Amino acid sequence: MKILVCISNVPDTTSKINFTQDNTKFDTTGVQFVINPNDEFGLTRAMWFKEKQGATVHVATVGGPQVEPTMRKALAIGADEGIRINAEPTDGFFVAQQLAEVIKNGEYDLVIGGRESIDYNGGMVPGIIAAILNINFVNTCIGLEIEGEKVTAMREIDGGKEKLESTLPLIIGGQKGLVEESDLRIPNMRGIMMARKKQINVLEPAEALHATSDKTFDKPAQKGPVKLVDADNVGELIELLHNEAKVI
């Protein structure tokens, strides 16, 4: 089985976010980038298929040379080969078109992406790839088993879970539950050393449509001041909730 894991290079959740050029560009100064968490759950599941079923695992991303440390981490975790499409990931539709070309030429049995990235939260790339290539797609996937060509998947739906059956090839949008956080892997020294020898193939982007563009960014409004009320002064608390906060 040949697996492609699509990964995004995203800011660490502890990073302080700022914008430049009159709030039109994300400021990357001092920001630590990591593998998108939803993608990392998928990568960990792919490693299970590699170890249990002998699958070959490739990782792919769209981005410039600055994304290669993130790709090297994926290789250190155990992926066999990396593919970098040398273009700025300007919008989800453009990224999906680039990855679709890689999938089409690579003849992958299973494609795993995260259901969304934690930076722009578009939640569109795996589904668009599936539509472009006319391949079965399971989103919000929290369970995946494969026996031969038969796939059993579990996905999260409003108010519960849904069990699905499909055949390969298949694209999934994974999330926490596909593996648990405790299953995520930290690269060890041997993996880091081996990753240095693994190949990252750099591809020039295919001609594709840029469907959307970012105009400006705004930070959430700052929280207002907090008033502390003595625990014994219930009357004052009720008065503030009624007359100032106007919630009762």
For residue range 194-234, what is the model confidence (pLDDT) as tens digits?
Answer: 898 899 999 999 998 888 888 898 888 888 788 888 888 88
Fold of 2-216: Rossmann fold (3.40.50)
Domain locations in the chain?
2-216
Q: How far apart are the first and last CA of the chain?
A: 60
175-191 per-position pLDDT tens digit: 999 999 999 988 888 89
Confidence band, pLDDT 50/70/90 cuts, at residue 57 = very high
Largest CA distance in the chain: 70
At 145, the amino acid letter reads: E
pLDDT confidence of residue 237: 86
Report the chain's mean pLDDT, rounded to a whole number.
92
Question: How many CA atoms lie less than 13 Å away from 76 in the CB half-sphere?
Answer: 18
Share of the chain above pLDDT 90, in %: 64
The whole-angstrom separation of Cα 178 and Cα 43 is 10
Task: Enter the pTM of the model.
Answer: 0.86
